[in-house]
Amino acid sequence: MQFFSFDPNNPVFRIQDWALSLQIITLENVYGLDPDGIHRTEHEDSASLSCIGLRWGGGQQPAPGGLHLTASFEPEGLRVRIKAQAPEPIRAVKILIRHLAPVTALDQFDDERAIPPEGLLDRYPNQLRLPLLCVRQLDGVTLGFRWEDAEHRSKRFAVYRERFGDDYTVECIHEEDARHFATQIEVPDWIFARVDDPTAFRAAQLTFNERQAGLKRWEERTDVPDWARQLRLVVTLHGMHWSGYTFNTYAQMIDILRYVATRIDGSQVLAYLPGWEGRYYWQYGDYRPDPLLGGEAGFTALCQTARELGVHLMPMFGANCVNSWKSNYHLFGPSSHMKTATRNVFHGNQPDWDTSRTQDTGWQAWLNPGAPAWQRELIRQINQLLDQYDLHAVFLDTVEVWVNDPDFNLLEGYRQLVGELRQARTDLLVTGEDWYDGLLPLFPVFQRTTKWRQTPDWVGRYARLMGHIADSEPARGSTGVFESGYAPYERLPDQPHYLPTIAFVDGTLEQAREEIDAIIGLAHG
């Protein structure tokens, strides 16, 4: 995290006992308020601040523009609304909560995190799953900061010791949807509070999402087919690794399903198929049964056998990542790249697929699901597979990856994509890799890994969780097609909102039957 090498000279003003500063960040500079243009009023239940004129260059230079802030007094703190104008399109508005005693930050489980010397930066939705942060002062007082933004736009929190003193500062930054950058901005409500109970503070955010952002409790969801409510077990059937190593052919997948179906009703089983289309990730963007796994005939046999057993197959698709070296890429790729707000082409994860230790994956292109060409092509390929093989579930990979694209909003793109897929198939289950609050209304089932991004229990109010492909299988700890290679085997938590999950690579069925049977036993409840 970087800082200015000078004092930015942002005016500090107080509302009740909160010390605040403000900045307007445009696409070409950062502006503070002109101290000579500030006018404040305070009433019994509110306060307002208006400023005519901005300053830049550490307050040395004037600029046109202004800002109006209103703060409503609430029992535990402030509800703040801001409107601002600037001479150039505004990217973000930052409010700085200043003159704090040393603090620690609370994570989503309310465990304390020390603030490193360089400061702490948390981004929503890339890291944070809610646009919310709590910090705890040395005297034990907990401060909470959250936004009520039904559009789920980008938010950032920075916590650090001031460079010009020993006080601590919390920055709360709202970034506008890059499609709508303009010289005027209206910021969604900020809530600043002294928090007796961080759980209750978080619950208030979820209540807002339920009322204003389409979040539904699991029992109320309409995007969960009746058959999916009966699921008790997920079996992850790894197909082909990026390198071409085969873990399970379609025929071997059939053997696994037959074994499982002798121990649990097949209608309660969801079979998740990573690497079903051939070389994992390499084949992304061109989906079809792979000849080396058994080809069309073998995949047809797998689908027929699953239907006979009552098992629901769920093939995996890259929602936003494709191989740009494939021959069909020119039809949808060049117009669909993910981009940052200032139009840097986004390049997401870069696994060391070939173990050259370079992590040079220039063939991976990251595409925006809101871009019409890619959205149409992905829907076409998925629908073709669903129609041809009579399938009723789809898994979309890496849906949690997010950028503030100036052309197409990713969250809107997923909303359109899921809507199109389910329009003619009300019994279709569409699941995703990882979650944040904006995705919870769109996907009723997510992967969850024990290795990172721990999931708080409240997510179970809204969705069900299954094992991630990073979670290894029980024979030798292989992660199958997933790039980490090996990991200690762990079971998912034994809680109602987790679907017991067991992964299969080559040898798992033969070498780990005791654990397989134990997981199936858990699925029986």
- Is residue 409 in a domain? yes
Reply yes or no on whether the pLDDT at 451 is more than 80. no
- Amino acid letter, 171: E
DSSP string, 109-135: T--EEPPPTT-EEEEETTT-SSSEEEE
- Round to whole Å and give the CA distance between 99 and 300: 66
For residues 49 and 21, state if they share a domain. yes
Of 212, 230, 261, the domain-final residue: 212
Average pLDDT of the segment spanning 9-18: 95
For residue 4, how many other CB atoms are within 10 A of its CB? 10
Q: Is pLDDT above 90 for 424?
A: no
Domain CATH for 258: 3.20.20.80
Cβ atoms within 10 Å of 129's Cβ, excluding its own: 21
Residue 346 lies in a domain: no
Same domain, yes or no: 290 and 380: yes
Mean per-residue pLDDT for 421-429?
95
Mean predicted confidence (pLDDT) in 262-274:
98
162 lies in some domain? yes
Judge whether 267 lies within some domain: yes
3-state SS class at 220: helix
The phi, psi pair for 329, rounded to 5°, reads -60, -35
User: What's 189's domain CATH number?
Assistant: 2.70.98
Kindly report, residue by residue over 103-131, the tens digit of the pLDDT: 999 998 999 999 999 999 999 999 999 99
Cα distances (Å, whole numbers) of residue 63 to 5, 33, 446: 21, 10, 48
* Residue 341 domain flag: no
- For 501, phi then psi, to 5°, come to -130, 135
Position 361 in a domain: no
HSE value, Cβ hemisphere, 13 Å, CA-based, for 148:
19
Which candidate, 462, 382, 455, 464, places its Cα nearest to that of 424? Answer: 382
State how far Cα 36 lies from the chain centre.
43
DSSP 8-class letter at 251: H
Asked if residue 21 is part of any domain, the answer here is: yes
Res. 453: pLDDT tops 90: no
Among 212, 235, 255, the domain boundary falls at 212
Q: What is the pLDDT of residue 377?
A: 98
380 and 288 inside one domain: yes
Tokens of 442: 């769109």
Q: What is the pLDDT of residues 276-327, one digit of tens each?
A: 999 999 999 999 999 999 999 999 999 999 999 999 999 999 999 999 999 9
Rounded Cα gap, residues 418 and 414, in angstroms = 6
Q: Which amino acid is at 110?
A: D
- Same domain flag for 159 and 223: no
Q: Domain check: are 260 and 167 in the same one?
A: no
* Cα gap 425→419, rounded to integer Å: 10
* Residue 399 sits in the same domain as residue 477: yes
Counted residue by residue, the chain has a size of 525
- How far is the C-alpha of 347 from the C-alpha of 20, rounded, in Å? 36
Cis omega (within 30 of 0) on the bond before 125?
Answer: yes
Statement to judge: residues 79 and 200 lie in one domain: yes
Same domain assignment for residues 157 and 107: yes
Contact 240/290 with Cβ under 8 angstroms? yes
Per the CB < 8 A criterion, the answer to whether 307 and 270 are in contact is: no
Looking at the structure of the chain, the number of domains it has is: 2
Average of pLDDT values for 365-386? 98
pLDDT at 449 over 80: no
Region 238-253: what's the mean pLDDT? 98
Taking all residues of the chain, what is their mean pLDDT, rounded to a whole number?
96
Residues 124 and 52 in one domain: yes
Domain boundary among 153, 178, 212: 212
Verify that 191 and 299 share a domain, yes or no.
no
The domain in which residue 39 lies consists of: 13-212
Residues 254 and 134 both lie in one domain? no
Other residues' Cβ atoms within 10 Å of the Cβ of residue 30: 19
* H-run or E-run covering 413: helix 410-423
Residue 366 has pLDDT above 90, yes or no: yes
Is residue 327 assigned to a domain? no
Give yes or no: residues 386 and 283 share one domain. Answer: yes
pLDDT at 450: 61
Task: Return the structure tokens found at 408.
Answer: 């197409």
Instruction: Check: CB of residue 73 under 8 Å from CB of residue 16.
Output: yes
